[in-house]
Amino acid sequence: MKWIEKGIVQFNAESFKLLKNDLLINLESKAYPDLIIDCSKTVLPDNELKFIRLFQTNQNKCLVIVIPSKSNHFFSDKWIIVPSKKEAIDFILFERMQRDIDL
């Protein structure tokens, strides 16, 4: 798990099994920030991603998944999929601006 900047955490999908307990504890404690999941090499199982997405949505937080544009993926348009970590950060920062305006 890597803190990108205040309130944004990024982790690689291939390390999810090692981080799963820590991630779930943080999600359940409602102390978790916007998330970037890097699925450049490995995509998490559907049930894990759906759980994380539902929690993030309920907390009004972003979940952005990084999948290179040359890769095929099974996600619908409802998921936030970007081709790079830089675009994931930009997306979250833009979403934060929109959340702040809606206050």
What is the domain-level CATH number for residue 21?
3.30.750
Condensed to tens digits (0 to 9), the pLDDT of residues 39-49 reads: 888 877 778 88
Closest to 16 measured CA to CA, from 47, 40, 48: 48
Which residue positions in the chain have pLDDT lower than 70? 1, 17-31, 72-73, 103
CA distance 95 to 57: 13
pLDDT of residue 28: 62
Count of domains in the chain?
A: 1
Cβ–Cβ under 8 Å, residues 28 and 52: no
pLDDT of residue 82: 94
Condensed to tens digits (0 to 9), the pLDDT of residues 20-36 reads: 666 666 666 656 789 99
- For the chain, how far is it from start to end, CA to CA, in angstroms? 30
**Domain span at 98:** 2-102
pLDDT of residue 74: 75
Cβ–Cβ under 8 Å, residues 75 and 63: no
